[in-house]
């Protein structure tokens, strides 16, 4: 497996990103290319073993992501699974130990210093970018962590990890503003096409960004999806990143929006029975309490962007899954650093920060 250019030192990149410094666009290009090679080998359903900390939507809220590491442990001491929506939204990251053991061993050799026997994995459920102010820094850091600790950090694709949505919701504009051109946006969004669609923890917990699809009964049907593409408007791949539970229904229903589904209690029960699993874990929906548990503890929503858009006042959480598969929500509030950077936020167009700027509007 070819390495990164000699000039790219991942540890140094990570160090700089923890300080919220931007990487050069040539470095981003190299890192995204390398990440694509890595992700290409992942199945559409990545099997991992607990312990792992699962993270929901982040949406570019950089300081709150650092807060997650402070609470849950830094990589590689904790395994992470990010469930997506990084840019101005959330992400899932986790340890990939079962399914791609071969490639992991290879990568660990390549990256040499991966410690053995460290407990947890970090796992992100998608939606890493858009809406927050630091989508570029957020996604850059997560991608570097994925490359550096490929078996301890897992990223699932969210509906915001797409070209269309990132153009409407801010990531494109942020890349342009910070780099003076759209190249970095192209590197990232091309790489998004390779993110996996789902993760299974301990053969028990099915993790996905949005939810279930009427086209998918068995997880084997997910494995045959051609995922290396922009998220389509319809079909199983769209459903996995878009659909929402509806606790008042039993079956699938059409969304009033004219595209997309909601899924009910019986759908969840049947999916778990067929696949011999006991829980579905997803992100995608804002909850004031930071998480929501539905269907007699068969499905959880985890939301990891506190005070979403710097104005919702909501709590956030990460879900810690222990070796035995026990689930504990770790709830947290917005990081204090957000207040210090409130001025910076107010200077951004379209960010109605908590602080109020007096204005002679008409």
Partner 1 sequence: MTVNGRVEPDSHYPSPTDAGNSITQHGFKITTRKLPILKADPIEKVTKNLGIAPPEMIFGDNLVSIDYESGWGIQFNTYDALDQVDKTGGSMLQVAHSREWQSTREKKHKGITEVVKPFDWSYSTDYKGTLRSSSPLLEASTIPIPVELLKRPDPILFFDEVILYEDEMADNGITMYSCKIRVMPARLLLLCRFFMRLDNVLLRIRDTRVYVDFGTGEVIREYMAKEEKYEVVRQKLAWRGQDVPAQLRDPNNIIDLLPVVNKSLERLVVR
- The site for partner 1 (CB under 8 A) is made up of 67, 71, 159-160, 165, 167-170, 172-173, 176, 214-215, 233-235, 242, 246, 249, 251-262, 285-289, 292, 307-309, 311-315, 328-334, 336, 349-350, 352, 356, 358-362
Give the nearest distance from C-beta 18 to partner 1 in angstroms.
19
**341 among known catalytic residues:** no
Closest CA to 147 of 1, 47, 19: 1
Of the pair 194, 242, the CB lying nearest partner 1 is at: 242
Closest CA to 246 of 262, 225, 234: 262
Quick one: angle between helices 25-40 and 183-192, nearest 10?
A: 10
Of the pair 103, 138, the CB lying nearest partner 1 is at: 138
Of the pair 76, 236, the CB lying nearest partner 1 is at: 236
Of the pair 102, 256, the CB lying nearest partner 1 is at: 256
Tell the burial category of 2 from Cβ atoms under 10 Å away from its Cβ (0-12, 13-18, 19+): exposed
Q: How far apart are CA 200 and CA 94, in angstroms?
A: 10
Give the nearest distance from C-beta 203 to partner 1 in angstroms.
25
Q: How far apart are CA 215 and CA 208, in angstroms?
A: 15
Helices (H), the chain: 10-18, 25-40, 62-72, 101-110, 135-148, 163-169, 171-179, 183-192, 219-223, 236-242, 265-274, 337-340, 342-346
Give the nearest distance from C-beta 223 to partner 1 in angstroms.
19
Give the nearest distance from C-beta 40 to partner 1 in angstroms.
26
Question: Is the Cα dihedral 266, 54, 284, 200 positive or negative?
Answer: negative
Phi first, then psi: what are they for 242, rounded to 5°? Answer: -115, -30
Total residues belonging to the chain: 362
Do 85 and 330 meet the contact criterion of CB atoms below 8 Å apart?
A: no
Out of 154, 160, 279, 284, which one is annotated catalytic? Answer: 160
Give the nearest distance from C-beta 171 to partner 1 in angstroms.
10
Give the nearest distance from C-beta 322 to partner 1 in angstroms.
13
- How many C-beta atoms surround the C-beta of residue 76 within 10 A? 22
Phi first, then psi: what are they for 132, rounded to 5°? Answer: -70, 180
Do 124 and 93 meet the contact criterion of CB atoms below 8 Å apart?
A: yes
Give, in degrees to the nearest 5, the angle at Cα 109 between 108 and 113. 70
Give the nearest distance from C-beta 155 to partner 1 in angstroms.
19
Query: Active-site residues: which are they?
Result: 160
């Amino acid at each position: 497996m070819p390495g990164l250019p000699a000039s790219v030192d991942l540890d140094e990149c990570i160090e700089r990103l923890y300080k919220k410094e931007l990487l050069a666009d040539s470095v981003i290009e190299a890192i995204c290319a390398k990440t694509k090679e890595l992700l290409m080998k992942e199945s559409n359903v990545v099997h991992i073993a607990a312990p792992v900390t699962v993270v929901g939507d982040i949406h570019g809220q950089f300081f709150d992501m650092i807060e997650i590491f402070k609470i849950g442990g830094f990589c590689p001491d904790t395994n992470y699974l990010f469930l997506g929506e990084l840019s101005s939204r959330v992400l899932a990251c986790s340890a990939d130990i079962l399914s791609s053991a071969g490639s992991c061993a290879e990568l660990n050799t390549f990256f040499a210093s991966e410690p053995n026997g460290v407990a947890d994995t970090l796992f992100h459920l998608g939606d890493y970018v858009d809406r927050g102010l630091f989508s570029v820094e957020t996604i850059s850091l997560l991608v570097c962590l994925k490359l550096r600790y490929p078996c301890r950090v897992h990223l699932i694709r969210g509906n915001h990890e797409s070209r269309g949505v990132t153009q409407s919701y801010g990531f494109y504009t942020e890349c342009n503003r910070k780099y003076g051109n759209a190249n970095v946006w192209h590197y990232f969004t091309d790489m998004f096409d390779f993110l996996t669609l789902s993760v299974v923890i301990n053969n028990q917990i099915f993790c996905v960004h949005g939810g279930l699809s009427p086209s998918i009964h068995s997880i084997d049907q997910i494995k045959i999806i051609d995922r290396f593409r922009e998220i389509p408007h319809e079909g199983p791949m769209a459903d996995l990143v878009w659909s929402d539970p509806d606790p008042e229904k039993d079956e699938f229903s059409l969304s009033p929006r004219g595209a997309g589904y909601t899924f009910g209690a019986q759908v969840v029960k049947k999916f778990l029975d067929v696949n011999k699993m006991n829980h579905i874990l997803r992100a995608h929906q804002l909850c004031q309490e930071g998480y929501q548990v539905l269907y007699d503890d068969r499905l959880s929503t985890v939301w990891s962007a506190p005070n979403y858009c710097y104005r919702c006042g909501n709590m956030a959480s990460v879900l810690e899954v222990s070796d035995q598969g026990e689930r504990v929500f770790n709830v947290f509030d917005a990081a204090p650093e957000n207040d210090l950077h409130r001025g910076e936020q107010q200077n951004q167009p379209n960010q109605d920060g908590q602080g109020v700027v007096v204005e002679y509007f008409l």
